Structure 1
Amino acid sequence: MKKAAKVFALLAVISTLTACSGTIQNKEKDCSYDYLLHPAVSISKIIGGCGDTAK
């Protein structure tokens, strides 16, 4: 029974994380970056990998 609970908990965590991911593109659609939980927390956004996404 404990093994089933662990598998269920793992599936719940994986499904939660996949629901919170996405991709952002700039207006020219020539650059994009992915994020895991929130767009503001993305490393690419923080270092300015795509430049200004609101051009």
Structure 2
Amino acid sequence: MNRMMKLAVLAVALSTLTACSGHVESKKKDCSYDYLLHPAISISRIIGGCGPAADQ
């Protein structure tokens, strides 16, 4: 039973993380970055590596 619970928790965690990933390109289409949970908390976005993101 304990093993089933661990597998269920792992499945929920993986499905949550994979459902919240994405890709953003700059307005000039010359720079892009991927994010895991939300584009605003991506490291590339925080350091301003690509400038403002294009509307999606």
Q: TM-score, normalised by structure 1?
A: 0.85
d(CA) in 2 for partners of 1:9, 1:51: 37
1:15-30 equivalence runs, <5 A: 15-30=15-30
Please list every run of at least 4 consecutive aligned residues from structure 1 whose deviation after the TM superposition is greater than 2 angstroms.
51-54
Q: Any stretches of 5+ residues in structure 2 without a counterpart?
A: none
- Three-state SS of the structure 2 residue aligned to 1:50 is coil
Query: Which blocks of at least 5 consecutive residues in structure 1 are unaligned?
Result: none
Report 1:1-55 matches (<5 A): 1-54=1-54
* In structure 2, distance between residues paired with 1:52 and 1:7: 40
Cα displacement (A) at 1:51: 2.2
CA RMSD of superposed structures (Å): 1.2
What is the total number of aligned residue pairs between the two structures?
Answer: 54
Amino acid of the residue matched to residue 49 of structure 1? G
Task: Write the letter of the residue equivalent to 1:46.
Answer: I
